[in-house]
A and B are shown apart, each in its own frame.
Chain A
Amino acid sequence: MADTTTRAKLRWGLIDVIVVVFALVPVLWIASLSFKTPATLTDGKFWPREWTLDNYKTIFDTDQFVRALVNSIGIALIATLIAVVLSAMAAYAISRLDFPGKRLLVGVSLLIAMFPQVSLVSPLFEIERQLGLFDTWPGLILPYITFALPLAIYTLSAFFKQIPWDLEKAAKMDGATQGQAFRRVIAPLAAPGLFTTAILVFIFCWNDFLFAITLTSTERARTVPVALSFFTGESQFEDPTGAICAAAVVITIPIIAFVLFFQRRIVSGLTSGAVKG
């Protein structure tokens, strides 16, 4: 018996290793490239033979990257904040209140979740040009909020349904209004769910490439994924590989941090929003 469990553990351990290697190799590879010197960059070895931080110095010396990084952080944070506030309000209503039109809202967010984003590229391009939103932060924040909302509403509704709502009833019996009950009692209980949702929304905004490349044209609002793709086209005489890899590693750091510290939350957030019923 003990023998079989040891063997089962060994087998699972082996499978685990395969999964981990498969998941990590592309990330390690780009990190490895970012530490290679120009001379060894094209040696085709997986690990660097000579280590250097020059690529990182280069990108932080260029305005192009630093501006894009500021844009990425600013746009993603603002979009996340607004999306979480709006979705928290809607999710509370969906999970707690009884009102006509609720199913319609759930249906609409489902449709938006399935909406092909590329279909919006042409009209948004023209609308934003007319409104003066083209190549600005709000011009990107708006579509990001829109497409983050369905995910955020589902995740939060799922979280909200698990909250012990009797506390709300108790607060109302003590004379609190529905609004007060929401702010004083429920909001603190909902904080973990809000936080998880915020992480998921941030990852979504941080990741976007399609809107960022079509709705921006200069460094004013260009985010890092787009700036990365432009590193390539411009310098034909200097190999931009090292710089691209360094920049890629920099924008991967927040993702790795989220995943390392909040793995449980992210998994529960994604799975709870997915299957309800």
Chain B
Amino acid sequence: MERQSQRLSVHDLYRVKWLIGAFMALISVGALYNLKTHNWIPASVTVAAITLCVLLPKLYANAPAALWKIFAFSIVPLVSIDIFAKETVPALLNLNTWLILYRSLNHQKRREEMQLVLLCLFLLVMTGMLTASILFGLQLLVFAGLAISFLSIGTILDSKSAGASESIDPSDAWKEHSGWLNLAGSMRYRNVVIGSAMFSVLIGIAGFSFLFIPRVDVENKVNLFNMKGAASQTGFSESVQLGEVTSIKNDTRVALRVDVAGERVVPAMPYWRMLALDAYSNGGFSISPSLKEMLDDEDSTPYRAVRYWKDRWFADAPSRDQTRDRWTFFVEPGVSKFLPIVGSFKQFTYTNLNDVRIAPQMHAFALKETPSKMVSYQLEDVDFSARVPDVPAERMRDLSVRRVTNRVDSDSPEYPKTLLELPADEASRAYLSAVAREITGGAPINALEFATRAANYLSRTHSYSMNITLPPVTDIQDPVVRWLRSDLDGHCEFFASSFILLARAAGFESRVVIGFKGGAWNAFENYYMIRNSDAHAWCEIYDGVGNWIRVDPTPGSELPASPGSTVALESQIGESDSLAYVDSLRMLWYRRIVNFDEQSQKEVAIQLKDFFLAYMQVAEEWAIRAVKQIYDWIVAPWSLAKLFYTSTSLFIAVSILLFQRNLALNYRELLLAPFKRGDPIRRKASKLLAKSEQKRRKRSKGTPEDREAVISELKRLRFGRKETWPNPRLVFKEARRWL
């Protein structure tokens, strides 16, 4: 984008740049008028001053330099008024306005140009953020064009003046000024048109893409670590058909990370329980409609949880009990709306409890909808025993009796009858009760005993396999019963479903549980990585006395209600390959951004404040005491000795100050001399020489003779033999007079 013209001289370009800078300032300061409550005086003064200068450039050019210096100093009191009013944002805006006024009328060097652009941009963005109006977009657009041309003219000016653009004398530049119209007339517009056209094309492309590119959920798409992009990870919803859980077995992405803090032992094989399903129909389990309705009910917020669990606490901040162990869960986006838990617990911590729904009968916890970003929550004092407490169905009935009774759907049974639901066809039922009788042996046994025997029965008759084929439909229609009757291999869902149907046929209430089993231990940051491929289905059987006991009928699992072997945290052998390392970085990030514990932050802040205040007080006392001592000393009667002491001290102080006049180097240079290389006098001479070189370039008019003499003396100080040096003090003094 070049706005160059061959016919414009360096001075013309200088003035064009100045004009564009003034327009930039006007645009950004004008944006302040969008703010309804802001004090308009600084903005109006600035706009008036810049407009005046643009309209009467001769006046501006002839203004004495002292005026600008005075203005620069007066910014301080102007801004301190705002600061004393204790309003930060208006003070910042006013400071910015005054600085823009100063800088837009005084910019010579490249860094000053950059300052002007940044100041204007800052003010514009600030007002834009405060107003969020559509006008802001327009202003920013115009500003962008102006800023680009401002900076490119600066560059052209630099190249045209052979790098000496910073030393253009403004008074020379303005001397040739004969009105803006004349200047505009002498411009060649081809480049301006090309530049504007390019800018418009840019705007056009940006606008087009803004209008027509499909909207994306930025939060979900731009994920710091999830470069693979989140494909939908279905598998855990309110209903599960046979094979659904297993279908994600090939997905090795991490679905859940569990950070275990303050815990010495962990279960050898943890089960990450997500939801339990009771209703059965033709090979598929689902949450019975009444429970599902309950889940969507307003009454199922965690705030009502005390109705179901007396000793359980839901909160948005962790408890102060430091003895508890804490399990922090980080669930990846899109996994499920149900939150995995490891077992029963004392406290559930989630920052926004309003989004949480509880299903007490199922002992499940869910969000309102499947989250699109990472979800984290914390459990305290987790119970590893393979049982979760039962919540009697009656309590639910009390709450939502109206809705439940309003439902006229007598075909399907209601909870808790669904816990005993069996396949619809008679042949299946008959086969199931036959097998159940075979397991029980006809005698009444308790649920635990039945579970053990049934699991053993299943693992005797079937093996585990991921490749399954179902036997053809004969008299029995139900797919699970068909599989049960065959000797085919199957996966966890077949085992779990078969177990449930057998238990129900034997009269035990039972349900399917969906979640994850196991998971890999990440040895880098010490946490569990649970992948989608760890998805698993198992069962829970009601023991009749208030507990649901976990039964995993899949071969190779623990026996039901076995003590639940645990393993020491230190002895966990985990993954430590490079993939695990990359994953551990993510965990570090999560730990950092997820802070459940605001309390500790507050404590640190308070401690800091106390510390600071205490020391402030000490310093204040010390200052008061010191002042008082000095005062006492002065008002005390004066003796001759005291008078002598005072005058001597004063004399020494003054002479130290005056002594500098007789030194070639000032105190600062003397102090710094030991820390720098080379002779300090030579260095100072060289500095002055460089300065004189600059000045010479700036003023190419004939230099007076004595100036040359000073420069040659400086050169002697710099390069000459020390013995032939002139008095450095006099030379430096003379040099400073000329420079």
Partners in one complex: no
